[in-house]
């Protein structure tokens, strides 16, 4: 079975721009969660989608948004980029909704904002 | 608030045993995960504890005490490949709250 894939792997943007990241979960997995990881901060939960509906949301500003398609693929959008948005963005998929299931992580998208 | 504490960094010797602690204060508790993350790679699942006690899986074991808000990950017969960060995450009201991770350095 193919693992979780994320595109692109690396991205360089400038302040004020917007960016869209993509995540394809493991086949059969209906839940996709997004995380931001920065050195020393650990994983910060952004949001979770299950069956095309946002089920849970972390404490991030409205500039961060996402969606999930009928094939469970998910996209995350960040508008009006700030320097502090530079981070590794990870998505994780699981079969069931919520945090009760093992999550399988993709390799991440490393976003650099200049 | 919700808080998870882990030591920032630990050093151990190849072949030895190391215990990585995780203490948590969360509004709810539905289980605790441990993940391993090698530098530049994605986290991978190690263990999941819901009930008190010790779960053993090969060289790795994980312990949970819900009354104390405490868990540890025990790694035996350490190998160089165990050098990684170890992340503790608590399922609090069906949202995962993550610790900042413990960087484990293995010396020969």
pLDDT tens digits for range B35-62: 999 998 899 999 999 999 999 999 999 9
Which chain B residues contact residue A39 at CB under 8 A?
Answer: none
Of B34, B37, B63, B56, residue with least CA distance to B47: B34
Residues of chain A positioned with their CB less than 8 A from the CB of B98: 35, 42-45
B69 interfaces chain A, CB cutoff of 8 Å: no
pLDDT at res. A99? 75
114 residues of chain A, pLDDT tens digit each: 689 999 999 999 999 999 999 999 999 999 999 999 998 778 899 999 999 999 989 999 999 999 999 999 999 999 999 999 999 999 999 998 767 788 999 999 999 999
Write the CA distances from B12 to A15, B5, B72, B86, integer angstroms: 42, 20, 16, 14
A99 and B30 in contact by Cβ < 8 A? Answer: yes
Task: Place B69 in a pLDDT band, splitting at 50, 70 and 90.
Answer: very high
Per the prediction, chain B carries an average pLDDT of 95
Q: Please state, for a pLDDT cut of 90, what percent of chain B lies above it.
A: 86
- What confidence score (pLDDT) does residue B40 get? 86
Residue among A99, A104, A107 with most chain B CBs within 10 A, to mutate:
A99
Instruction: Report pLDDT for A107.
Output: 94
Contact B106, B9 (CB under 8 A): no
B29 touches chain A (CB under 8 A): no
Q: How far is CA B71 from the centre of its chain?
A: 7
- Nearest alpha-carbon partner for A18 in A109, A86, A80: A80
Query: How high is the pLDDT of residue A98?
Result: 66
Asked if A90 and B100 come within 8 Å (Cβ–Cβ), the reply is no
Distance CA B20, CA A13 (A): 38
């Amino acid at each position: 079975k193919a693992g979780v894939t994320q595109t692109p792997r690396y991205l360089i943007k400038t302040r004020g721009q917007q960016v869209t990241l993509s995540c394809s979960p493991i086949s059969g997995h209906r839940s996709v969660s997004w995380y931001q990881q920065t050195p020393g901060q650990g994983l910060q939960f952004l949001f979770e989608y299950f069956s095309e509906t946002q089920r849970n949301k972390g404490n991030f500003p409205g500039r961060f948004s996402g969606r999930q398609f009928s094939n469970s693929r998910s996209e995350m959008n960040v508008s009006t980029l700030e320097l502090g948005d530079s981070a590794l963005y990870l998505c994780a998929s699981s079969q069931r909704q919520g945090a009760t299931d093992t999550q399988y992580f993709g390799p991440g998208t490393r976003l650099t904002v200049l | 608030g919700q808080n998870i504490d882990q030591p920032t960094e630990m050093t151990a010797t190849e072949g030895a045993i190391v215990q990585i602690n995780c203490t948590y204060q969360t509004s709810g508790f539905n289980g605790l995960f441990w993940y391993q993350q090698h530098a530049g790679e994605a986290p991978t699942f190690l263990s999941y504890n819901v009930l008190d006690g010790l779960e053993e899986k090969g060289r790795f074991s994980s312990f949970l005490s819900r009354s104390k808000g405490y868990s540890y990950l025990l790694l035996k017969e350490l190998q160089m490949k165990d050098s990684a960060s170890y992340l503790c995450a608590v399922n609090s009201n069906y949202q995962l709250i993550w610790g900042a991770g413990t960087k484990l350095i293995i010396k020969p």
